[in-house]
Chains A and B, each alone.
Chain A
């Protein structure tokens, strides 16, 4: 990893006598999107508030570009963009005017107009720049919220449930936007929507009851794709190993007929499908395995595991 833009070292926070975040260690580099997953109450929003400089940690340190955020609060002004779960907007102002204020608030006094114009273009807000924020649809308001988080071109962007409440098309646009921003910023994104993580993030960290329970890359395995296959015929691992394109086969617990299949490097799903049909396994379902993360998430949420290595 490059020198991290963000580094959390044993960060903890007590709120109303309850330890909401505990001994959290994380790093995020420029060009990387980290997905922070967790059920409601896992400590995601509190963690993001601390990263954004809204809330000071009770223990541990948060470093942004190598500097302690608590000792250099000005870092939050210039180096961090934050979109809370509800976009912080001033409904009585027009989009352009609001974003110019945000730019000035983050220290771009002389360049606020140009910065606002750039954020408006990037977030696709050109057609509504003169409209009052209060009159905008939910999707546009979310985009204005994102625009205020990036208007000052921060090195670190913190997004709390950015796709919350959006329809599928709006959510897709937002994912594309986040993916685009991830190319040259460090992004921390919290959500409990797994497809958002799979679509946007390079790495995932799962929080549960304030603790980091899983951290790992979402890059595809180098030795071949992982598929989930459902067959009608009762088959065993030996039957799968007979197929030349299969590297490994594991039955999915509690579901007879459902298998997790890892292909050999270079093998394709269509070749596997053809072989399964040819052997008469009774192919019922074949899909890319995105649910490894889901399994981990569900296991952690159910308290079945203490910590899962990537």
Chain B
């Protein structure tokens, strides 16, 4: 009960702030611009693709690149969404409202997390609607699109959990956002050196975010990737709840 209540309240607070609306507007405008450019390029290319066997379609050339590009943008915007969840409360000294409600650390963290994740999922759906609009005029690979959107949701779930965790580190939301961006960037490039050496199936590759999001863009939904995202999210949320316990005894 308290998890859903805190999540709804977090959502309501986001909706009450101009920042969230501005962020949503900027994201939609950026992605719409990319979408139109990709569509224009596809329309110019499509006459030449007519005679090619197994030629890539609009899903390959417009929808998936758009969603892949959005996954990169998510690494920047999710920290901006989550930065206030705990850090903002600490800065405003309003965290005791939740701490004294008997809700418990885990419920507070999960409630905050779900509230922020709900906002990010709305952004994902808004962006996914753009290529889906093409279904009125052409055939789309819905299976592959569905896999890509699922991958984005799982990816965003992990980023949001990491952002929520980082938001417990400091009372400064900007620092929390920077920390979340640093952690997710590290996870994105942790295997870059290994890949440079030609290693793409080592343990270090398993740690990297791109290893697990890419299969979804290719239409592959593998349990190993789902488990990776969920595991990372659970660990981040557990660390956030643990950090909240320490905050109960601090002065802010």
Is the Cβ of A104 less than 8 Å from the Cβ of B5?
Answer: yes
A140 within 8 A of B: no
Nearest chain-A residue to B95 (Cβ)? Answer: A88
Task: Pick the contact of A105: B2, B12, B94, B248 (CB < 8 A).
Answer: B2
A89 x B101 contact (CB < 8 A):
no
Q: Which has the most chain A C-beta neighbours within 10 Å: B12, B98, B102, B103? A: B102
B93 close to A86 (CB less than 8 A) = yes
Partner of A89, one of B17, B94, B100: B94
Instruction: Select one of B6, B9, B100, B103 contacting A52, CB under 8 A.
Output: B100
Residues of chain B at the chain A interface (Cβ within 8 Å): 1-2, 5-6, 9, 12-13, 16-17, 92-104, 248-249
CA distance A137 to B249 in the complex (A): 29
Determine which residue in A73, A92, A97 has the highest number of CB atoms from chain B within 10 A of its CB, and name it: A92
Give, as a whole number of angstroms, the nearest-CB distance from B147 to chain A.
37
Within the complex, the shortest CB–CB distance from B52 to chain A, in Å, comes to 54
> 24 A–B contact pairs at CB < 8 A?
A13-B249, A49-B248, A53-B99, A53-B100, A53-B102, A54-B100, A56-B248, A73-B102, A73-B104, A76-B102, A77-B102, A80-B100, A82-B96, A86-B93, A88-B95, A88-B96, A88-B97, A89-B92, A89-B94, A92-B17, A93-B13, A101-B9, A105-B6, A148-B97
Query: B96 is contacted by which of A15, A75, A84, A93 (Cβ under 8 Å)?
Result: A84
Bound-state CA distance A53–B97 (Å) is: 11
Within 8 A of B (CB), among A189-236: none
Cβ 8 A contact of B102, one of A15, A16, A75, A148: A75
CB distance from A45 to the nearest CB of B (A): 8
Closest to A78 in B: B102
A88→B16 CA distance, assembly (Å): 17
Q: Does A159 contact B (CB under 8 A)?
A: no
A76 to B99, CA, bound (A): 10
Residue of A nearest to B19 (CB): A92
Residues of chain A within 8 A (CB-CB) of B17 are 92
* Chain B residues, Cβ within 8 Å of A109: 1, 5
Contact B5 A90 (CB under 8 A): no
Q: Is the interface of A mostly helix, strand, loop or mixed?
A: mixed
Partner of A93, one of B2, B16, B98, B249: B16
CA distance A274 to B95 in the complex (A): 58
Ranked nearest first, the 7 interchain pairs of A and B with the lowest CB-CB distance are: A77-B102, A88-B97, A76-B102, A88-B94, A86-B93, A82-B100, A92-B16
Besides A54-B248, A76-B101, 12 more A-B contacts (Cβ < 8 Å) are A49-B96, A52-B100, A76-B102, A80-B100, A84-B96, A88-B92, A88-B97, A90-B92, A91-B92, A105-B5, A105-B97, A106-B101
B151 shortest CB reach to chain A, Å: 33
Distance A53 CA – B95 CA, assembled complex (angstroms): 13
CA distance A73 to B100 in the complex (A): 10
Q: Chain A: how many interface residues by the 8 Å CB criterion? A: 34
Residues of A near B95 (CB, < 8 A) are: 88
C-alpha gap A56/B13 in the complex (Å): 29
Which residues of B lie under 8 Å from residue A54 when comparing CB positions? Answer: 96, 99-100, 248
B244 smallest CB distance to A (angstroms)? 11
Q: Does A74 contact B (CB under 8 A)?
A: yes
Write the residues of chain A forming the contact surface with B, with a CB cutoff of 8 angstroms: 13, 15-16, 46, 49, 52-56, 73-78, 80, 82, 84, 86, 88-93, 97, 101-102, 104-106, 109, 148
Contact indicator A77/B248 (Cβ below 8 Å): no
Residues of chain B within 8 A (CB-CB) of A74 are 102
Minimum CB–CB distance for A11 against chain B, Å = 14
Q: How far in angstroms is the closest Cβ of chain B from A133?
A: 10
Of A75, A77, A78, the most chain B CB neighbours within 10 A belong to A77
* Inter-chain contact A105/B103, CB cutoff 8 Å: yes
Residues of A within 8 A of B102 (CB): 53, 73-78
A80 to B99, CA, bound (A): 12
Q: Which residues of A contact B2 (CB under 8 A)?
A: 105
* Cβ 8 A contact of B248, one of A55, A80, A88: A55
Q: How far is the CB of A80 from chain B (nearest CB, A)?
A: 7
Q: Give CA–CA (A118, B95) in the complex, Å.
A: 24
Q: Are A90 and B94 in contact (CB under 8 A)?
A: yes
Within the assembled complex, what's the spacing in Å between the Cα atoms of A76 and B248? Answer: 15
In angstroms, how far is the closest chain B Cβ from the Cβ of A161? 13
Please give, as numbers and ranges, the residues of chain A lying within 8 Å of B99 by CB-CB distance: 53-54
Chain A contacts for B96, CB-based, 8 A? 49, 52, 54, 82, 84, 88
Please give, as numbers and ranges, the residues of chain B lying within 8 Å of A101 by CB-CB distance.
Answer: 5, 9
Closest Cβ of chain A to B98, distance in Å, is 8
Residues of chain A contacted by B6 (CB below 8 angstroms): 105
Residues from chain B with a CB closer than 8 A to the CB of A15 are 249
Residue of A nearest to B89 (CB): A88
Closest CB-CB distance, A160 to chain B, in whole Å? 9
Nearest CB in chain B to that of A152: its residue: B101
A82 and B98 alpha carbons, distance in the complex (Å):
11
Residues of B within 8 A of A104 (CB): 5
Report how far A88 CA is from B101 CA in the complex, Å.
12
Measured CA separation A89–B104 after assembly (Å): 19
